[in-house]
Amino acid sequence: MSASSDVGHHAQRQARWHYGEVAFWLVVLACGFVFPTRYLIMTDILRLALFAMSLDLILGYAGIVSLGHAAFFGVGAYAAGLLALHGIVNEPVLALIAAGLAAMVLGFATSFLVIRGVDLTRLMVTLGIALLLEALAERFSNITGGTDGLQGIEMQPILGQIPFDMFGKAGFFYSLAVLFLLFLFARRVVHSPFGLSLRAIKNNPLRAAAIGIPVNRRLIAIYTLAAFYAGVAGALFTQTTAIASLDVFAFERSADLMLVLVIGGTGYLYGGLIGAVIFRMLQEVFSTITPQYWQFWIGLVLVVIVLVGRQRLHRWVLYVPNLVIRQIAGRKAVVVPESEA
């Protein structure tokens, strides 16, 4: 078997759906029926998961470190809010796509700034863009509502059929559907030759360029796509909570997002989803212990994770599941994070 077909065979095997993945999504769906009183928090988790998946696309697959991913989340949130508030696009799904596209345009425009320079410059530029947008949103308070945020948003029924209810049931299944569809697309993308080339760029941009991968164009493409995802996550935020305030751009949002991905692990798409669940649960636990100072514990978790080492931590966490799966199925676990960012 030649080397290239061997690579293709390997990639195809990686891309195949595993039982574990099917089980994962069934469990998520089941949650919607098992915990009918917890729709709001579960919707929150789904949103965060989508947002984290967006960062995973650029961080885990392309190796771009971003401290300002909230910029796209915020643009999506405000776009969706404004579209609904002024009745420009009433139908939520269309508005969602429009908001995602707005974030995507911003992502495309700023990607040229981001692909320049090394990690540190990228950190600064992404952080700067998010702060810039926050300042802009505050400045144009006649459009954005300033520090009060957009208020009085009324959402129309989804696809003209399903109205948002006050228990958040429709919101939950709507978010789940969006997350699943976007996940399918992301999964397809990262397992495509395009996705493989991104990993090559992440491992060694110089070598990737030498074997003929257009590094900058690929990075621009994935950054733009990730911006779309983040914009959709932001739009979901506005649509399911019916508010959009300045804190959608906040630095803490970007920083929390990093933590979500760090908890879940990068580079296998499920990291964001698992991380979002654990992060929200941690947050719940901490805020019941110390309502005002939960940030301290979140910070401590970050410090400990980094000091212990992310790879080592994931080996520990996955030890039991791996053991179980190996015993039952006689093969390696499905949830094995690959190389870390």
Partner 1 sequence: MTSILTNLFDGVAYGMLLFVLACGLAVTLGLMNFVNLAHGAFAMAGGYVCMVLVNRMGWPFFAALPLAFVSSAAIGIVLERTLYRHLYARSHLDQVLFTIGLTFMSVAAVDYIQGSSRVFINLPAALQGQFDVFGVGIGRYRLMIIVICGLLTIALQMVLAKTRFGSRLRAAVDDPRAASGLGINVPQVFAFTFAFGCGLAGLGGALSAEILGLDPYFPLKFMIYFLIVVTVGGSSSITGPFLASLLLGIGDVAGKYYVPKMGPFVIYTIMIVILIWRPNGLFGRTAAR
Binding residues for partner 1, rule: CB under 8 A, are: 59, 65, 67, 113, 116-121, 123-125, 127-129, 131-132, 135-136, 138-139, 251-252, 255, 258-259, 262, 292-296, 298-303, 305-307, 310, 341
Structure tokens at 99: 């908001």
**Judged by CB, which is closer to partner 1: 52, or 153?**
52
8 A C-beta contact, residue 186 and residue 281: no
We find the least distance from the C-beta atom of residue 187 to partner 1, in angstroms, to be 24
Task: In whole angstroms, give the CA distance from residue 251 to residue 318.
Answer: 31
**Judged by CB, which is closer to partner 1: 119, or 165?**
119
8 A C-beta contact, residue 214 and residue 28: no
**Judged by CB, which is closer to partner 1: 155, or 256?**
256
Residue type, 255: A
Question: 39-56 and 215-241 are packed helices; what angle lies between their axes, rounded to 10 degrees?
Answer: 170
We find the least distance from the C-beta atom of residue 76 to partner 1, in angstroms, to be 20
- The count of other CB atoms within 10 Å of the CB of residue 53 is 29
- The count of other CB atoms within 10 Å of the CB of residue 213 is 19
We find the least distance from the C-beta atom of residue 204 to partner 1, in angstroms, to be 14
8 A C-beta contact, residue 218 and residue 228: no
We find the least distance from the C-beta atom of residue 245 to partner 1, in angstroms, to be 17
**Judged by CB, which is closer to partner 1: 71, or 274?**
71
8 A C-beta contact, residue 149 and residue 246: yes
**Judged by CB, which is closer to partner 1: 106, or 125?**
125
8 A C-beta contact, residue 252 and residue 294: no
Task: In whole angstroms, give the CA distance from residue 341 to residue 202.
Answer: 8
**Judged by CB, which is closer to partner 1: 1, or 120?**
120
**Judged by CB, which is closer to partner 1: 2, or 142?**
142
Phi, psi of 44 (to 5 degrees): -60, -45
8 A C-beta contact, residue 143 and residue 74: no
We find the least distance from the C-beta atom of residue 49 to partner 1, in angstroms, to be 19
We find the least distance from the C-beta atom of residue 277 to partner 1, in angstroms, to be 19
We find the least distance from the C-beta atom of residue 255 to partner 1, in angstroms, to be 5
